[in-house]
Amino acid sequence: MWFNFNAQEHILQTWPSILRLPKISSFLSLISEEIIDVNNLFLVNRNQNITKIRNNSQTCFLRKILNDTFDYQRRIKIVDTVLKQPKYIYTEAEKKPKFLGEMIVYTEEETEGFEVDFTVLIPGELRNYQIEIKSMIDFFKLASKRYKIVVDENI
At residue 45, the pLDDT reads 95
Residue spans of the domains in the chain: they are: 7-54, 59-152
Predicted confidence (pLDDT) per residue in 66-105, tens digit: 999 999 999 999 988 766 666 666 666 666 666 666 777 7
DSSP notation for the chain? -TT---HHHHHHHHS-GGG--HHHHHHHHHHHHHHHHHHHHHHHHHHHHHHHHH--S-HHHHHHHHHHHH-TT---EEEE--PBPPPP---GGGT------S-PPPPGGGBTTS---EEEEEEGGGGGGHHHHHHHHHHHS-TT--EEEEEETT-
Quick one: what percent of the chain has pLDDT higher than 90? 33
How do residues 123-140 score in pLDDT, each as one tens digit?
999 999 999 999 999 999
> To the nearest whole number, what is the mean pLDDT of the chain?
83
Per-residue pLDDT at 97: 64
